[in-house]
A and B are shown apart, each in its own frame.
Chain A
Amino acid sequence: MKLDHALATIAEDIRPSENQKVFACLAEYVFAHKKDIKHLTYSSIAQVIGTQRPEMLLQVAQYLSGERVKLLEMKFELIIDDNIIPLDDETVYHAEITGSLIHPDTGYPVKDYDRYIYPYFIPSREIENG
């Protein structure tokens, strides 16, 4: 995926057209900093695109990690107190299917895990290869 192609797809997909520059802004940022970005949170995306509106934030993050442009990959981590534990796809999938999240370090289920699980984004393989 190249930036030109991503911007053209955004122009084609995003309506109303005045919203396109918000999506394009994040796309350009990700391309410009793809080597440095290892962890994008919703709050850092909000700063990049200059919005605090949750619905816009979700829409932009969802679109940029969706099949159409796939510039970002969504990941999850567990944050309990100050401990941050990355979750692999198998652990997340198991939690979705069974409703029980196994803590990767302790090996025991995390009680009320919904309170401690957070999404973040990294540049996708497509953009890294591009």
Chain B
Amino acid sequence: MSAIDFADGLNERKISFSLFRNALHQNDLAASLGWERTIDKLTEHLNSPKTSATYATGLEAVYVDLTLNGNKLIKVFKLLGDYDELIKHFSMELVEQKTIYDKRFPLPLEHDDLVAAPLTLSCADYYTTEDRSSFVFCSKQYVVEKEILPAESLTDNAQNDYGDFDEIYGVRKRAVQLFDVVCVDRESGTLQIRMDGLDVQKTKDIERRLLILESKVLQVIEAAFDVTKIISGAINFFPCIKKLYSSVDGRIAEIGHTTDSAGVHRGKMRTKQHDFRDDTYHAGGVAGIVELNPHMLSKCWNSPSRQGYVELVIPGTVALTSSANPTIDTAFVLSCASDIDYDFVMNKIFESMTP
């Protein structure tokens, strides 16, 4: 395995380029415009005796950071019991002795091997630091890609049979390897499920996989512990929305809310560099009502590592505001190029949960 494989692996996994560039900058590694030029630049540094070692170590760190963090759909549970016992149990029962993914882990499998992989989730390995243990579950998923084909790609026979077309599309089902993470976080006392694939899959498909992973984890806990003494229910993000909106830090990127005069509103700025609360039209509306009744929110902060921004999205629908017990148990933690970025967003969630 060569160090450039880490960059290629992230490209294959369709990791957002802007996130990759932020991660490179956070690790003091050079980046350029686009994947191609950046990989050329990284290869140059890896070939230079002066920078080779730094770049090899740095690229592996970037790869692991973007596997454990990056763009994730999360579900979080409060832990009640002994973390060390739980981690020990997970390391024995969740981590599989031999998986098809071992061949290249932490890199994704090559195409033919991946196509041959089963559709199940396999815990290939785990990373442990003083604060947390992260168990990585690999799986093969199919994504549907649609491409416009050149007009000449239709044969004469096909044209005779079906006539002329203004546009011709090709649809491809491509296998991708996803890396979901189950993390036991000692510092916050939580068990976090961080689902991968937001850049390539629909949320509904990810949520379906989340249910499978969650049930797998709960079964493993149940096999050795009294679940009620280990873990409490999933954290409800709904009450955080209002507090996050009113905390002056960061920027509101998007908000969905209703009003007592029967209005349903959803608004955002053109880019995440601006705060929606500063939008003249929105501010005028807020000043004219007693209460904003929000059901979804997206909020951004400059990255604590000073490269790019991090984002939290608490998704919700209008129906929630009509519910007596509104509950949102998943959220999106986005654009986190490192543990520092990810912990920053999680802390914002935890802060917004305190009265």
Query: Which A residues have a C-beta under 8 Å from some C-beta of B?
Result: 36, 38-39, 77, 84-86, 90-91, 94, 102-109
Contact B270 A84 (CB under 8 A): yes
- Chain B residues within 8 Å of A105, by CB: 16-18
Interface size on B, residues (CB 8 A): 17
Contact B270 A107 (CB under 8 A): no
- Asked if B271 is at the interface (CB within 8 A of a chain A CB), the reply is yes
- Asked if B2 is at the interface (CB within 8 A of a chain A CB), the reply is no
CA–CA, A85 to B17, complex, Å?
13
Q: What's the A-B contact tally at a CB cutoff of 8 Å?
A: 40
Contact B35 A77 (CB under 8 A): no
Contact B280 A107 (CB under 8 A): no
A-B contact sample (5 more), CB < 8 A, given A91-B33, A105-B16: A36-B280, A38-B269, A90-B33, A94-B33, A106-B16
Query: Which B residues have a C-beta under 8 Å from some C-beta of A?
Result: 11, 16-18, 20-21, 33-35, 37-38, 269-271, 273-274, 280
- Closest Cβ of chain A to B151, distance in Å, is 15
**Contacts A36-B280, A90-B33, A91-B33 given; does A104 touch B273 at CB 8 Å:** no
- Chain B residues within 8 Å of A39, by CB: 270
CA–CA, A94 to B20, complex, Å?
20
Interface of chain B: mostly helix, strand, loop or mixed: helix
CA–CA, A105 to B311, complex, Å?
15
Contact B274 A107 (CB under 8 A): no
CA–CA, A102 to B273, complex, Å?
20
Contact B34 A107 (CB under 8 A): yes
- Chain B residues within 8 Å of A109, by CB: 34
- Chain B residues within 8 Å of A94, by CB: 33
Q: Among A36, A38, A86, A107, which residue has its beta carbon within 8 angstroms of that of B20?
A: A107
Contact B33 A84 (CB under 8 A): no
- Chain B residues within 8 Å of A106, by CB: 16-17
CA–CA, A114 to B211, complex, Å?
43
Q: Among B17, B270, B280, which residue has its beta carbon within 8 angstroms of that of A77?
A: B270
- Chain B residues within 8 Å of A91, by CB: 33
- Closest Cβ of chain A to B283, distance in Å, is 10
- Chain A residues within 8 Å of B280, by CB: 36
**Contacts A36-B280, A90-B33, A91-B33 given; does A104 touch B17 at CB 8 Å:** yes
Q: Which residue of B lies closest to A104 (CB)?
A: B18
Q: Which residue of A lies closest to B269 (CB)?
A: A38
- Chain A residues within 8 Å of B17, by CB: 103-108
Q: Which residue of A lies closest to B148 (CB)?
A: A111
Between-chain CB contacts (< 8 Å), 14 pairs = A86-B273, A102-B33, A102-B37, A103-B17, A103-B34, A105-B16, A105-B18, A107-B11, A107-B18, A107-B34, A108-B17, A108-B34, A108-B35, A109-B34
Q: Among B38, B269, B271, B273, which residue has its beta carbon within 8 angstroms of that of A107?
A: B38
Q: Which residue of A lies closest to B34 (CB)?
A: A102
